[in-house]
Amino acid sequence: MRFAHTHRPGFWLGFVDFFTAGLFFLLYMPLGGLQGELEEVLGHRVRPYWQAYLLGIPTLFIYPLVWMADISRELKGKAIAMGIPGPHTSWRHMFGWNVFGVLFFGPMIATHRFFNTLNQIEDRLNRSPAA
């Protein structure tokens, strides 16, 4: 698979998502191709964001945060396995910035690091001979 979106602006995507209370990614995940790209990069199916979002309503949106932190952990492992230099996203980074940094642009910082790691992985996969 050739990845077309290797320069996603993570900070701004996080900014828009934060101020739309997560509704932005309900559209961006399937329509922007992010769902399929994550599944391709990670090598397995990923729960659709709309399901995580709905499960977040009764859990005060803790479920989607843990869901995204788990994906971040997997992306970090993939980046390390590919030899991509850090800093990488991680479970602790995603969870910590979203919870403890919420007053200091934390969700945007976490989303920026997430997309930075994803962009680097996709760029490396595009340059590999098998791509």
Q: What is the mean pLDDT of residues 30-51?
A: 93
pLDDT of residue 82 exceeding 70 = yes
- pLDDT number for residue 50: 95
CA 102/CA 106 separation, integer angstroms: 5
pLDDT of residue 131 exceeding 70 = no
The string of pLDDT tens digits covering residues 120-129 is 999 999 988 7
pLDDT of residue 4 exceeding 80 = no
Specify the length of the chain in residues.
Answer: 131
Residues near 78 by Cβ (< 8 Å), separated by ≥ 6?
Answer: 41, 42, 121
Using pLDDT thresholds of 50, 70 and 90, give the confidence band for residue 35.
Answer: very high
- pLDDT number for residue 1: 62
Sign of CA dihedral 67, 25, 83, 90: negative
Residue type, 106: G
Structure tokens at 6: 């290797």
Domain ranges of the chain: 10-127
